Amino acid sequence: MDLIGKVLAGATLSRQEWLSVISDRASYPDARLRSIASSIRDSIYGRKVFIRGLVEFTSFCRNDCYYCGLRRSNSRAERYRLSAEEILSACINGYSIGLRTFVLQGGEDMYWDDGRLTALVREIREACPDAAITLSVGERSEDSYRKLRQSGADRYLLRHETADAVHYSKLHPLSMSFQNRLECLRTLKRLGFQTGAGMMVGSPFSSEDTLASDMAFLQDLRPEMVGIGPFIPHRDTPFRDEMMGSVSLTLRMLSIVRIALPSALIPSTTALATASSDGQIDGLDAGANVIMPNITPSTERRKYLLYDNKKISEEEAGENIAWIIEKLRMAGYEGSLERGDHVQAIADIPHS
Ligand code: SAH
């Protein structure tokens, strides 16, 4: 039995074995990985692609990640912060067109302390009782995560970025701790969040070796969601002259993650759509099953710039759900507005 057979039979692969799966293109050609990944996805979620409404609600950040355009040392970034009313009304508009998941993402903005953020989550919960609320606001204390969970947040996205400690220290300043990021992920899972991890592909100093560490880590953590996109340089960061991550390697990694974690919810990311014109559909064909159109008020949307040339098209944003669903249909997918919970989490959803 080859290594894919082993994974499908439920075995945990070593880092070395994951490295073979990632790098041995003769034994594991892209097309084979893609076809196994999409049949696994189809057998669990069918051809459904879950559509989430993404609100990028603040571009202030206390962190200084070398790759990210929102880093605090980027004095050229235009900063904005939506008010609670603006965020709530973006969600209510989304709810009225049928969306049942809202993803609130932002930099680590200290304005949004526990009091303000839990109050916001409660308001969204009240206005959209049967919608899932996903937060993605970085590292916080266990106590803070617990309060957010108790106020009605269901899911949390916190990419681990890389599971190799040395690599992590090349992407982040010393003040940021790899151990703490991993600890946050374990805490989120323990508190009952459907938890998302993930990494950039082709970030500076990465290699198939660091990706092998990512796979071993993901197989151990078993997150409910995994976000993967290519690294794209941003002109006002220390990584401005670094190369963009490979789209084909990103697609290959999407398939490998689907095979490792059959029931994961995996977005076909904006970074993938930015890096390649067919990126979003290619991502689905590789095994992804989620898309996250932007429902941030359009005046602020262009300011949330994690990387250069970020795809900000009006026709693919939340205003145009019908067009998005049609585009999915033409590619053989069924766009779905349902909550789209992870299959193993459905049993213990508190708010349905
Ligand atoms: N502050 C939140 C949200 C971060 S932005 C947090 O810490 O989780 C969401 C993701 O965008 C990051 O986790 C990172 O993986 C990705 N990202 C940031 N800069 C990027 C770049 N230059 N290219 C590609 N992806 C990037």
Instruction: Determine, yes or no, domain membership for 241.
Output: yes
Give the relative orientation of helices 15-23 and 208-221 as an angle to the nearest 10 degrees.
120
What is the distance between the alpha carbons of residues 319 and 122, in angstroms, rounded to a whole number?
25
271 in ligand 1 pocket by Cβ < 6 Å? yes
Which of the residue ranges 131-140, 168-177, 214-223, 292-301 would you say has the lowest mean pLDDT? 292-301
How far does residue 227's CA lie from ligand 1's centre (Å)?
Answer: 10
**Which domain covers residue 141, as residue numbers?**
12-340
Is residue 136 within 8 A of residue 157, CB to CB? The reply is: yes
- Looking at every residue in the chain, the average pLDDT score rounds to 95
Position in ligand 1 atom list of the atom nearest CA 198: 15
Q: Whose CA is nearest to atom 24 of ligand 1?
A: 231
- Structural tokens at position 299: 């005046």
Instruction: Determine, yes or no, domain membership for 352.
Output: no
Instruction: Determine, yes or no, domain membership for 233.
Output: yes
Position in ligand 1 atom list of the atom nearest CA 68: 19
Instruction: Determine, yes or no, domain membership for 6.
Output: no
What is the distance between the alpha carbons of residues 192 and 342, in angstroms, rounded to a whole number?
12
Q: Whose CA is nearest to atom 12 of ligand 1?
A: 159
Could you tell me the pTM of the whole model? 0.96
Position in ligand 1 atom list of the atom nearest CA 137: 2
Which pLDDT value is given to residue 352? 38
Count structural domains, the chain: 1
What is the distance between the alpha carbons of residues 75 and 91, in angstroms, rounded to a whole number?
30
Is residue 324 within 8 A of residue 51, CB to CB? The reply is: yes
Instruction: Determine, yes or no, domain membership for 350.
Output: no
Q: What is the mean pLDDT of residues 294-308?
A: 89
Q: What percent of the chain has pLDDT over 90?
A: 91
With bands split at pLDDT 50, 70 and 90, how would you rate the model's confidence at 348?
very low
- Structural tokens at position 324: 């998005």
CATH of the domain at 315: 3.20.20.70
100 in ligand 1 pocket by Cβ < 6 Å? no
Instruction: Determine, yes or no, domain membership for 25.
Output: yes
Instruction: Determine, yes or no, domain membership for 27.
Output: yes
For residue 193, pLDDT over 90 is answered with: yes
- Structural tokens at position 88: 């709530």
340 in ligand 1 pocket by Cβ < 6 Å? no
Which pLDDT value is given to residue 299? 85
How far does residue 161's CA lie from ligand 1's centre (Å)?
Answer: 8
pLDDT, tens digit (0-9, with 9 covering 90-100), for 103-151: 999 999 999 999 999 999 999 999 999 999 999 999 999 999 999 999 9
What is the distance between the alpha carbons of residues 305 and 77, in angstroms, rounded to a whole number?
8
pLDDT, tens digit (0-9, with 9 covering 90-100), for 238-286: 999 999 999 999 999 999 999 999 999 999 999 999 999 999 999 999 9
Instruction: Determine, yes or no, domain membership for 346.
Output: no
Q: What is the mean pLDDT of residues 319-327?
A: 90
